[in-house]
Amino acid sequence: MEDIEHIVRYPVNRNHVTPILLLHGAWHGAWCWEFWLDYFASLGYEVHAISLPGHGRSPLIKKHINFYTLSDYVNVLAHEINKISPLPVVVGHSMGGAILQKHIEEHSLPGAVLLSSAPAKGVARMFLKMLYRHPLAALKTLLTLNSFHLVETPKLAQDWFLSEGVSIDVDQFHKSLVRESITISFQLLLPFAKLNKVTSPVLVMAGEKDVIFTVSEGEATAKKYKAKCVVFEGQAHNLMLEPNRLSIANVIDEWITKKLKLP
């Protein structure tokens, strides 16, 4: 795990003692947090972002991405959290939200933000939507056990992750995507979260135009954690890259400082 990409942005003026750690979702890497790394640092936070094995600049340690399990990714998250002092508020996006939910079953954090997260009840509904929305890509994925078919073109990537009004370079965004472990996709099909053990404060955030995980799924996850679900009108799955990304970051900042009252 020494080779895990771990980016840190230090603020010019540190106004907050509690750091923030950003964990990406499937196909992505630490690169997807570029805007938030800089923005949270400008607000006075020490900000961290990591890339899971085989993502971003983190190498594969196992021989194939499909050999990675959910437990492997949870262990990576725990290892990187242990490098940070004091303990951070962790933001987990999409699959990263599932990894974060498994982490807080056994460990307490100052705060856990589930951003467009895989729902606690599992992702079976997502698979059905993928079969309906892009049947050829979904069938190729199932037949070859290669998840990259779901995002193999810029058009597919934008449809899954980004709204039409996004300001980023979609072609460059697509070039950064990588193959994801199909094993983890299957592990997440059914309910995976043991909610009775969670002591960390949780905030759920959902995009109104998210075609992967719906607002109703976000609200159901929030209910299970007795948490608030904040819905962002007109925003798609990748809330950290969407047009309102800085306003969305401000909601996290306000939750940390005003709701949790963390230093």
Q: Model confidence over 166-191: pLDDT tens digits?
A: 889 999 999 999 999 999 999 999 99
Predicted pLDDT at 57:
96
pLDDT at 213 (0 to 100):
96
pLDDT along the chain (263 residues), means of 10: 90 96 98 98 98 96 95 97 97 98 96 97 89 92 95 96 92 97 95 84 97 96 95 97 97 97 91
So what's the pLDDT on residue 219? 97
Question: What pLDDT is attached to residue 1?
Answer: 62
> For 139-204, what is the HEC assignment?
HHHHHHCCHHHHHCCHHHHHHHHCCCCCCCCHHHHHHHCCCCCHHHHHHCCCCCCCHHHCCCCEEE
- Residue 22 CA to residue 7 CA, distance in Å, equals 10
Q: What is the pLDDT of residue 126?
A: 87
pLDDT at 2 (0 to 100) = 67
Query: What's residue 193's pLDDT?
Result: 86
Helix (H, G, I), strand (E, B) or coil at 213: coil
CA distance 123 to 2: 31
